[in-house]
Amino acid sequence: MIKVTRSNKPAISVFRVCALAASMSVFATATLYFAGVFNGDKVTAQAFVDLQQGSTVHAGFRRAHAKGLCVSGNFESTGLLSAYSTATVFKQGSTPFIGRFSIAGNNPTAPDLKAPVRSLAFVVNTATEDEWRVAMNTPPVMAVATPDAFYKQLQALSPDPATGKRDPAKISAFFKAHPESKAFNQWKAGYTPANSFATEQYNSINAFYLHNAQGEKQAVRWQAVPSMSEHEVAVLDKQSPDALQQQLISQIEKQPVRFDLKFTLADSNDDENNPTIPWPSSREVINAGSLVITGWGFQNEGACGAQNFDPLVLPKGMSATADPILRARGAAYAQSYRRRATETLLNKSKTSQEGAGDASN
């Protein structure tokens, strides 16, 4: 079994931090959007990330999905989505991507098998106008449809500071007050975590638009569907806090890990702005291509460490729906990114000052 050893140092290059500073005006706009200037939501990105990071700040790490493993490979497009989108990534062919498997939560050393949600993020066509960033989770739907309600959901699920435990009465009161969480809770009741990151299904949850050359638009959601089945994966070391990471590393070293990206096309009865409602299984599904994962790296060393997988960064030929949850994500991810980037930069500058002091002594 491969041993996952990882330094607790996060990784973000100074270059990335400078690039971030250059994009501050974009960030300011996103923050205003989330702060309610445009959509009436009361919760700000700052308040959201304060709540997500909790009382123990893990400096330099993501404030949500803090524990992850970097991966890389190619997106092999079937070309079948070209009729719906002009994005170059959907033309038939192969494009490199970097990605990250993670577990939900603010703790970069949390035990893999205790997390309720697992995730896969990736970015294709990095640093071009056709860049496509994606962050997907295991549930197919959200429990609630607005940032305000999601904030309250996180509050209800947060451990009581006095006892360190969740309050079941608070949680059930929250879900009772939010009947729109029915589909999410049904999924949760029937969900059995897979024995590997490589055999989970990951969902876009929010809907997006595809735009074709004729100027038509089509609402879609997508799902990363694993090619491997449960009985093909190596046995999990259930005692290890890094069980899923170790198992994925040994899997990738044996053979590429593949997922098909299956796009579901909405019809006029589906509400693309409400992420709590599943779309009927009778909707047309198109296989856009496969993510073929051939490499991995620890997040403090790999290319994904400094990446912000903001789902609002979309190529030409795709756009965001008005779903308020989707719209809120960009500002929250930027807020988390800004905090971890600043901490890493301060840490670097402290280390280099200490180094200079040593040299002069």
The CA distance from 275 to 279, in Å, is 10
The token duo for 237 is: 């070391």
Angle of CA points 277, 137, 232, to nearest 5°: 120
The pattern of x and - marking residues 299 through 328 that bind ligand HEM according to CB under 6 A reads: ---------xx---------------x--x
The token duo for 73 is: 């490979």
Given the complex with ligand HEM, which of 89 and 303 has the nearer CB atom?
303
Query: Is the distance from CB of 214 to CB of 265 less than 8 angstroms?
Result: no
Cβ neighbours around 100 below 10 Å, total: 24
Given the complex with ligand HEM, which of 196 and 336 has the nearer CB atom?
336
Q: β-pairing, 67-77 with 202-203?
A: unpaired
SS3 291: strand
The token duo for 187 is: 């999924």
In the bound complex, what is the minimum distance in angstroms from residue 78's beta carbon to ligand HEM? Answer: 23
Q: Which of 322, 307, 321, 323 is nearest to 65 (CA)?
A: 307
Given the complex with ligand HEM, which of 46 and 240 has the nearer CB atom?
46
Q: Which of 101, 68, 276 is nearest to 178 (CA)?
A: 276
Which member of 58, 65, 178, 231 is catalytic?
65
Q: Does 205 bind ligand HEM (CB under 6 A)?
A: yes
Among 62, 67, 133, 258, binds ligand HEM (CB under 6 A): 62
The CA distance from 60 to 221, in Å, is 32
231 in active site: no
The pattern of x and - marking residues 64 through 103 that bind ligand HEM according to CB under 6 A reads: xx--x-------------------------------x-x-
In the bound complex, what is the minimum distance in angstroms from residue 329's beta carbon to ligand HEM? Answer: 5
Given the complex with ligand HEM, which of 61 and 90 has the nearer CB atom?
61
Q: Which of 217, 224, 210 is nearest to 315 (CA)?
A: 210
Among 115, 266, 333, 344, binds ligand HEM (CB under 6 A): 333
Q: Does 52 bind ligand HEM (CB under 6 A)?
A: yes
For ligand HEM, the binding residues in 98-157 under the rule CB under 6 A are 100, 102, 119, 121, 135-137, 142, 147, 150
> How far, CA to CA in Å, does 175 sit from each of 42, 118, 172?
20, 22, 5
Contacts with ligand HEM: how many residues (CB under 6 A)? 31
Given the complex with ligand HEM, which of 82 and 118 has the nearer CB atom?
118
Residue 110, C-beta contacts closer than 8 angstroms, at least 6 positions apart: 66, 67, 103, 241
* Contact residues for ligand HEM, defined by CB under 6 A: 48-49, 52, 62-65, 68, 100, 102, 119, 121, 135-137, 142, 147, 150, 204-206, 308-309, 325, 328-329, 332-333, 336-337, 340
**Which residues are marked as active site?**
65
